[in-house]
């Protein structure tokens, strides 16, 4: 099947939930639009749990298949993004549970952070070296899982606390508290290592 | 400031009021949080355009994922439970026997001299480093602006941490009698002295972008704030190469190419040599399998310092270091840098010309017929006819040398310097020399100036002769034809981007541009006959032989294109082509690191010969039955074909 650019563009104005309804009405392109909207976001999220591109790709497809299968039962009165993130996180956790031994061995390699500006010095001339970044990576990887998940959803996915709360089935206040704890733990680690 | 970052700033500001972070640099934390992003390999990010194929992809991916999982959990639950006590018993036994050995292997160093403010980060705690303190694996040493520390490790290894440095100790083992040492210098510098290492031992100094492996020596390294690295060797030998970042942020496919490139570009520094590694013009994490080869020229590799840059800088900061010759060590003339010797076979004499930076010698196995030192630096490869050699120097001198005797027959001077990549060109009427600023000189065979023509633009490659004209490539993409008799210039054609190489056959000029296009231009009627795109920058060498054009992409692909513009074959050598190719009747010979590639001109079949030690010269010279080259240890070497 060939999709024209114009046809795909038309879906841009729909909300996620409207796209789900459109898909249920038999419009397969609606799912394609949802896929395009969430592909990169989900892959990034899954990759933080499973730091292997190939395995992360498998889990992503697993998650997408689940979304496919259960799209019929999705309650369009609720947030689609929360639902799809939930599925992605659950798929990742399931995968981690099954391969816990292997994952533990590569714990150190889980997070890879890079500088956005390619290493130029900031106006304040605070020098951030490669080893500082490595230590930061390490501090994120050492966070407890519940803190790390909030940190990732907020820091990388830029989700609102209300959405994070829905995904993690906790209160918004708890999500904020976890984010604060995560940054404190990172600061503590970096301070101990002499980075800050 | 992005709106969504406000809470991160608020939380960070909140930490300032607490006592726990009173001494912490929270501005830096904020900088790290705001200026970093989580990195995901591009390979994972499937193009969104593939979305419509989801239905085809997803089931396949799902089934492969399930298959992998089945492989990773092969045992039934009964077998798994039975394995638990067995594994526990085995682990206990291994721990019981290996424990004392493991701990005996850890070799802590001792601070033997500390001056100023030096701090030690050990097990998550800061403390001031004092003389007699133990320093071991995973410790980080931070020295203040005018402070330093000397640390002695078992096995005769001494490390001096220079002022304003950050040195992390990654490995400090002595297992049995084997020493393994690895340190990471992320700022400032250090000087290391280690007695000769035996087989199985290793001493490495890493910087974020490079690694130096030591065989038994004394050397120093400094990392500047802009990321530039400088190594200096005072005794022995050190091998320096670029390395990939430890966080594996480079895509696997790009990493493979980069590893080879860095390995090929490694240098061995001997006593009183220094090398510098600059900063990359493209970040490594931005490279993918598809763009990595074209990006290689933008990456910094170790360059052995020459001239005043070879003077040792670190010893001035290291007076009193055990075994150090002392402050202000005299810089001895550094040996000639790697790759600066070129070879040319002279069939009439059956000798090989060895062309160094400032000398020329006529040699054969175990025999030097003559050697001649020149006043200036030789610009690119000379040309010869029968027994006369024509050489141009960067300072703007052209000379004729008698190949029999090595005597200079005449020298002519030009008003401009020669480009290091442009050779003189010879035809039956005389010698043409193109200078950097675009002056074209013609001398007769006795050294008399016949004419001088101003091209009006920088010259980027060696001109070619065709018919009664000489064609000069200009930096702005123009090909300028100059009448060989009068010196009158006329614009032939313009090819858009800078010209990287020229070749000629009969009335056709083949023009390779820096953008990766090959044009066939017929100067008789000024027509461009065809154009072929190779989509890769070429390394500046082009051969036109028997109706075919051979081009060498920097990324490592060799192309054979027919005189009609058809691709006859292309072969990926798997290694970037940096050195000059040589040829005989049937094959091309290209040195690439420790390998000599031999390529069949007709079919493109590649044979590889691994050479140890690696070829050091910028090319090889090929005779009927022998290949000559220069190697690091063995010097001038011959190899039977």
Angle at which helix A145-155 crosses helix A161-168, to 10 degrees, equals 140
Which residue spans within B455-498 are E strands per DSSP? 464-466, 469-473, 478-483, 489-494
Q: Quote the pLDDT of residue B104.
A: 39
Taking alpha carbons only, the member of B105, B39, B32 closest to residue A56 is: B39
User: Alpha-carbon distance B10 to B485, whole Å?
Assistant: 79
The region, left, alpha or beta by phi > 0 then psi within -120 to 50, assigned to residue B427 is beta
**In the predicted model, is pLDDT for residue B641 greater than 80?**
no
Token pair 């790009």: residue: B254
Span B483-495, average pLDDT: 83
**In the predicted model, is pLDDT for residue B107 greater than 50?**
yes
Distance from CA of A118 to the nearest CA of B (A): 7
User: B38 contacts in A (CB within 8 Å)?
Assistant: 44, 48, 111-113, 152, 155-156
Q: Within 10 A of A53 (CB to CB), how many other CB atoms are there? A: 18
The region, left, alpha or beta by phi > 0 then psi within -120 to 50, assigned to residue B551 is beta
DSSP label at residue B337: P
Q: Quote the pLDDT of residue B61.
A: 40
Q: What is the mean pLDDT of chain B?
A: 77
Contact yes or no for B58 and A195 at CB 8 A = no
Q: Give yes or no for a contact between B18 and A111, defined as CB atoms under 8 angstroms apart.
A: no
- Report the percent of chain B where pLDDT is more than 90: 5
User: Alpha-carbon distance A12 to B166, whole Å?
Assistant: 51
CA dihedral B185, B189, B192, B198 (to 10 degrees): 30
Set out the domains of chain B in order of their start, with CATH numbers.
3-35 (no CATH), 105-317 (2.60.120.1440)
Q: Quote the pLDDT of residue A79.
A: 86
> Closest chain B residue to A118 measured between Cα atoms?
B283
User: Alpha-carbon distance B140 to B122, whole Å?
Assistant: 7
Q: Which is more confidently placed, B103 or A127?
A: A127
Q: Which tens digit of pLDDT belongs to each residue from A110-126?
A: 444 544 444 444 333 44
> Worst-scoring range by mean pLDDT, A16-20, B388-392, B618-622, B628-632?
B628-632
Q: Which is more confidently placed, B522 or A10?
A: B522
Q: Give yes or no for a contact between B456 and B436, defined as CB atoms under 8 angstroms apart.
A: no
Q: Which is more confidently placed, B194 or B307?
A: B194
CATH for A12-110 is 1.10.1740.10
User: In terms of DSSP bridges, do strands B210-214 and B238-242 run parallel, antiparallel, or are they unpaired?
Assistant: antiparallel
Taking alpha carbons only, the member of A6, A53, A14 closest to residue A30 is: A14
Which range among A25-34, A128-137, A166-175, B201-210 has the greatest average pLDDT?
A166-175
Q: Give yes or no for a contact between B621 and B589, defined as CB atoms under 8 angstroms apart.
A: no
End-to-end, the C-alpha distance of chain B in Å comes to 66
Span B285-303, average pLDDT: 81
The radius of gyration of chain A from alpha carbons, rounded to an integer in Å, stands at: 19
Which range among A186-190, B33-37, B283-287 has the greatest average pLDDT?
A186-190
End-to-end, the C-alpha distance of chain A in Å comes to 55
Span B540-548, average pLDDT: 83
User: A109 contacts in B (CB within 8 Å)?
Assistant: 247-248
Please provide the DSSP assignment of B437-451 as one string: TSEEEEE-TTS-EEE
Q: Quote the pLDDT of residue B272.
A: 76
User: A124 contacts in B (CB within 8 Å)?
Assistant: 27, 31
Q: Which is more confidently placed, B583 or B137?
A: B583
User: In terms of DSSP bridges, do strands B202-206 and B178-194 run parallel, antiparallel, or are they unpaired?
Assistant: parallel
Q: Which is more confidently placed, B92 or B242?
A: B242
Contact yes or no for A35 and B51 at CB 8 A = yes
> Worst-scoring range by mean pLDDT, A49-58, A157-166, B517-526, B581-590?
A49-58
Q: Which is more confidently placed, B495 or B399?
A: B399
Span B328-334, average pLDDT: 40
Map out the domains of chain A as residue ranges. 12-110, 111-196
B9, B27, B40: best to mutate for the A interface, most A CBs within 10 A = B40
DSSP label at residue B168: E
Span B495-514, average pLDDT: 84
User: B65 contacts in A (CB within 8 Å)?
Assistant: 55, 58-59, 61-62
Span B530-554, average pLDDT: 82
Q: Quote the pLDDT of residue B59.
A: 45
- A34: three-class secondary structure by DSSP: helix
Pair of tokens at residue B214: 């030591």
CA dihedral B21, A174, A145, B168 (to 10 degrees): -10
pLDDT band per the 50, 70, 90 thresholds, residue B47 = very low
- Report the percent of chain A where pLDDT is more than 90: 11
Q: Quote the pLDDT of residue B408.
A: 92
> Worst-scoring range by mean pLDDT, B103-107, B257-261, B267-271?
B103-107
Q: How far is CA B75 from CA A95, A98, B78, B183, in A?
A: 17, 13, 8, 42
B5, B142, B247, B278: best to mutate for the A interface, most A CBs within 10 A = B247
**In the predicted model, is pLDDT for residue B66 greater than 60?**
no
Q: Which tens digit of pLDDT belongs to each residue from B159-173?
A: 888 888 888 888 777
Span A16-31, average pLDDT: 84
Q: Within 10 A of B558 (CB to CB), how many other CB atoms are there? A: 22
Q: Within 10 A of B81 (CB to CB), how many other CB atoms are there? A: 10
**In the predicted model, is pLDDT for residue B490 greater than 70?**
yes
The region, left, alpha or beta by phi > 0 then psi within -120 to 50, assigned to residue B227 is left
Q: Quote the pLDDT of residue A120.
A: 42
User: A1 contacts in B (CB within 8 Å)?
Assistant: 52
Taking alpha carbons only, the member of B356, B421, B350, B419 closest to residue B387 is: B350
pLDDT band per the 50, 70, 90 thresholds, residue B323 = low
Tell me whether the omega of the peptide bond preceding residue B613 falls within 30 degrees of 0, making it cis. yes
CA dihedral A128, A130, A134, A139 (to 10 degrees): 0
**In the predicted model, is pLDDT for residue B313 greater than 70?**
no
Residues 6+ apart with CB under 8 A from B76: none
pLDDT band per the 50, 70, 90 thresholds, residue B75 = very low
Contact yes or no for B72 and A124 at CB 8 A = no
pLDDT band per the 50, 70, 90 thresholds, residue B72 = very low
> Closest chain A residue to B280 measured between Cα atoms?
A118
User: Alpha-carbon distance B220 to A46, whole Å?
Assistant: 43
> Closest chain B residue to A133 measured between Cα atoms?
B32
Q: Quote the pLDDT of residue B441.
A: 92
**In the predicted model, is pLDDT for residue B65 greater than 50?**
no
Q: How far is CA B406 from CA B44, B351, B413, in A?
A: 62, 13, 20
Residues counted in chain B: 641
Q: Which is more confidently placed, B361 or B261?
A: B361
B44, B73, B124, B125: best to mutate for the A interface, most A CBs within 10 A = B44
Q: Quote the pLDDT of residue B409.
A: 92
Q: Which tens digit of pLDDT belongs to each residue from B1-45?
A: 444 457 888 888 888 877 777 777 888 888 778 766 666 665 666
Q: Give yes or no for a contact between A165 and A171, defined as CB atoms under 8 angstroms apart.
A: yes
pLDDT band per the 50, 70, 90 thresholds, residue B123 = low
User: A112 contacts in B (CB within 8 Å)?
Assistant: 38-40, 247-249
User: Alpha-carbon distance B152 to B560, whole Å?
Assistant: 58
Q: Quote the pLDDT of residue B390.
A: 93
> Worst-scoring range by mean pLDDT, A113-117, B86-90, B191-195?
A113-117
- Report the percent of chain B where pLDDT is more than 70: 78
pLDDT band per the 50, 70, 90 thresholds, residue B593 = low
CATH for A111-196 is 1.10.10.10
DSSP H or E segment with residue A9:
helix A5-10
User: Alpha-carbon distance B429 to B484, whole Å?
Assistant: 8
Pair of tokens at residue B615: 């070829």
Q: Quote the pLDDT of residue A196.
A: 79
User: Alpha-carbon distance B219 to A119, whole Å?
Assistant: 28
**In the predicted model, is pLDDT for residue A51 greater than 60?**
yes
Q: Which tens digit of pLDDT belongs to each residue from B216-225?
A: 778 888 888 7
pLDDT band per the 50, 70, 90 thresholds, residue B474 = confident
CA angle at residue A70 from A68 to A74, to 5 degrees?
115
Q: Quote the pLDDT of residue B350.
A: 86
Span B423-438, average pLDDT: 87
């Amino acid at each position: 099947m060939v999709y024209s650019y114009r046809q795909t563009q038309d879906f841009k104005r729909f909300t996620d939930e409207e796209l789900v309804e459109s898909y249920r009405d038999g419009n397969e392109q609606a799912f394609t639009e949802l896929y395009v909207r969430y592909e990169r976001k989900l892959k990034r999220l899954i990759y933080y749990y499973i730091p292997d591109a190939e395995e992360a790709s498998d889990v992503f497809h697993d998650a997408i298949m689940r979304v496919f299968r259960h799209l019929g039962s999705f309650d369009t009165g609720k947030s689609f993004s929360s639902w799809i993130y939930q599925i992605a996180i659950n798929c990742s956790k399931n995968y981690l549970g099954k391969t816990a031994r292997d994952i533990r061995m590569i714990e150190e390699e889980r997070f890879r952070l890079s500088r956005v500006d390619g290493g130029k010095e900031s106006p304040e001339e605070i020098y951030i070296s490669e080893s500082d970044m490595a230590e930061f990576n390490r501090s994120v990887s050492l966070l407890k899982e519940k803190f790390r998940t909030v940190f990732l959803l907020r820091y990388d996915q830029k989700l609102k606390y209300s959405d994070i709360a829905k995904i993690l089935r906790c209160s918004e206040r708890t999500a904020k508290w976890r984010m604060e704890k995560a940054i404190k733990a990172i600061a503590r680690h970096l301070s101990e290592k002499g980075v800050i | 400031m992005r709106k969504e970052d406000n809470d991160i700033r608020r939380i960070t500001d909140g930490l300032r009021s607490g006592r726990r972070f009173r001494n912490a640099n929270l501005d830096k934390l904020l900088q790290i949080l705001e200026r970093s992003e989580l990195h995901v390999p591009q390979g994972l990010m499937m193009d969104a355009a593939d979305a419509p194929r989801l239905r085809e992809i997803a089931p396949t991916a799902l089934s492969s994922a399930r298959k992998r999982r089945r492989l990773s959990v092969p045992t039934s639950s009964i077998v798994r439970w039975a394995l638990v006590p067995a594994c526990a018993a085995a682990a206990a036994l291994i721990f019981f026997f290996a424990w004392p050995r493991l701990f005996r292997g850890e070799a802590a160093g001792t601070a033997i001299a500390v001056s100023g403010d030096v701090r030690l980060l050990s097990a998550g705690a800061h403390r001031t480093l004092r003389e007699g303190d133990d320093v071991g694996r995973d410790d980080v040493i931070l020295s203040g602006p005018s402070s330093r520390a000397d640390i002695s490790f078992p096995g005769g290894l001494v490390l001096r941490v220079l002022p304003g440095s950050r040195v992390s100790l990654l490995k400090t083992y002595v297992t049995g009698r084997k020493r393994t040492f690895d340190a990471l210098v992320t700022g400032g510098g250090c000087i290391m002295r280690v007695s000769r290492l035996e087989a199985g031992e290793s001493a490495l100094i890493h910087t974020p972008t490079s690694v130096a492996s030591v065989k038994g020596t004394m050397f120093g390294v400094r990392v500047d704030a802009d990321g530039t690295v400088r190594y200096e060797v005072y005794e022995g030998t050190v091998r320096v190469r670029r390395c990939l970042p430890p966080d594996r942020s480079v895509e696997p496919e790009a990493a493979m190419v980069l590893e080879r490139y860095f390995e090929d570009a490694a240098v061995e520094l001997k006593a009183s040599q220094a090398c510098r590694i600059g900063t990359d013009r493209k970040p490594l994490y931005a490279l993918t399998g598809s763009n990595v080869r074209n990006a290689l020229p933008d990456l910094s590799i170790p360059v052995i310092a020459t001239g005043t840059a070879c003077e040792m800088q670190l010893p001035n900061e290291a007076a009193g270091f055990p075994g150090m010759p002392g402050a202000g060590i005299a810089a001895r003339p550094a040996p000639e840098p790697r790759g600066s010797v070129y070879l040319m076979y002279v069939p009439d004499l059956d000798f090989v010309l060895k062309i160094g930076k400032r000398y020329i010698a006529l040699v054969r196995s175990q025999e030097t017929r003559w050697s001649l030192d020149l006043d200036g630096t030789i610009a690119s490869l000379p040309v010869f006819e029968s027994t006369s050699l024509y050489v141009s120097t960067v300072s703007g001198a052209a000379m004729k040398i008698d190949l029999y005797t090595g005597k200079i027959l005449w020298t002519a001077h030009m008003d401009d310097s020669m480009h290091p990549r442009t050779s003189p060109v010879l035809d039956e009427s005389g010698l043409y020399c193109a200078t950097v600023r675009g002056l074209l000189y013609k001398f007769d065979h006795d050294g008399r100036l016949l004419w001088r023509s101003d091209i009006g633009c920088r010259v980027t490659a060696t001109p070619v002769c065709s018919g009664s004209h000489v064609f000069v490539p200009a930096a702005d993409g123009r090909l300028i034809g100059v009448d060989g008799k009068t010196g009158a210039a006329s614009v032939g054609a313009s090819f858009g981007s800078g010209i990287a190489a020229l070749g000629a056959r009969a009335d056709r000029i083949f023009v390779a541009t820096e953008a990766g296009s090959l044009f066939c231009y017929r100067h008789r009627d000024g027509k461009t006959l065809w154009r072929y795109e190779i989509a890769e920058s070429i390394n500046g060498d082009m051969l036109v032989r028997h109706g075919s054009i051979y081009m060498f992409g920097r990324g490592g692909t060799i192309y054979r294109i027919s005189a009609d513009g058809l691709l006859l074959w292309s072969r990926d050598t798997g290694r970037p082509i940096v050195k000059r190719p040589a040829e005989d009747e049937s094959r091309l010979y290209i040195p690439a690191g420790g390998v000599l590639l031999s390529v069949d001109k007709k079919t493109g079949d590649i044979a590889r010969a691994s050479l140890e030690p690696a070829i050091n010269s910028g090319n090889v010279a090929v005779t009927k039955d022998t290949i000559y080259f220069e190697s690091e240890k063995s010097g001038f070497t011959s190899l039977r074909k």
